[in-house]
Structure 1
Amino acid sequence: MDGGGMRKLLGPVLVLVSVTLLSGCRSPGTNSPADKSEVRQSNHTIQELCDFPKKFYTDQFRVDKLQVEVIATKPVTEKIGAGNGCDYHPADSDYEYLGYISLDAPSATWSPSSTPSPTATFPARVLVVDGISIIATPSPAKTVPPGTTTSAQYVLLTATIDGWRGEFEFIGRDDRTTETGARVLVGMIRSLKN
């Protein structure tokens, strides 16, 4: 194809790309449909979210020094909105996984995610803390550390308060640990949602 034919072909493509890119731009304060799906933000930071369960890990798992990692590539100074979460590992272990905590703000397009399926050894159940229902479901058994045959059964707690969905995963050793984790989850959502 000669240069003139290529220009004729690329001209409409460039216009289409430009229109597509510009349609994503809008002036602030408009009431376009895109505004309705925007996610609310908390006045609290991701750092506060990451700090919230540290005492739980210290008390329940006797871990004095935690390595905390933000799940999404966001700065810890960013306000809590959507896609916020923190992973926890003992600082002296490169492999051992303790769990994670997350908090997501509601949006107009929010819909609940599916929960893991119960197993015969750990069926799903509902816990109630301060009037809030928490669903406790099993998470897939994880090998700790990788390459060994030792596995741990994790529990995933989920709760929603005023549209804010929180999740807290950790090794579900016993009912007392799970109930303590449920209180941490409810406290975290209530404290950090505004």
Structure 2
Amino acid sequence: MPGSLGFEEQDAKTFASWGIDYLKYDNCHHDGSKPIERYPVMSKALKKAGRPIFFSLCEWGEMHPAEWGFHVGNSWRTTCDITDTWESMISRADQNELYAQYARPGGWNDPDMLEIGNRGMTKDEYIVHFSLWAISKAPLLLGCDIRNMTQETIEIISNKEILMVFKLGRLGCTVMKRFGLRHFPAIGQ
């Protein structure tokens, strides 16, 4: 039994003693039991560990964790792994949007890490990427090496207008797709 499987309470206490704030609990190399059975065990262990730890469920959306994840964790992957291409990013955004009704305060749909700064897309594509994640209230987790971020990457991820949309707390969903464009409702202040 690799990883924390079977050692959830011990590991949760260890994480808390280290001052961990965020745990991404991946579905790799498990014993064949279902995530919907395994993840609540770690969730309970974290709650008993004596420190609030953000619990990110990562089972790539295979068992539709958006439908049950709110009772277990703080965020849940809705998609398989993203790659640093326009096609991959757009398909993750589309798949994530299928679960929009499950996102709420304290619970986030997670279409995977932001690829901004990994140099596989254009600047405009990265702006769209960041905007779509912000509109959908996805966790804004950088998947690039922050030690080597370019000024362009910093400008994209610190864009005040996009961050304001994220902070508004209202989920934006596509109301229409036409001619390759997505149309979102106005979600002003």
Normalised by the shorter chain, which TM-score bucket? under 0.3
Q: Structure 1-normalised TM-score? A: 0.26
Bigger strand share: 1
Q: Structure 2-normalised TM-score? A: 0.26
Larger RCO: 1 or 2 (CA < 8 Å, sep 6+): 1
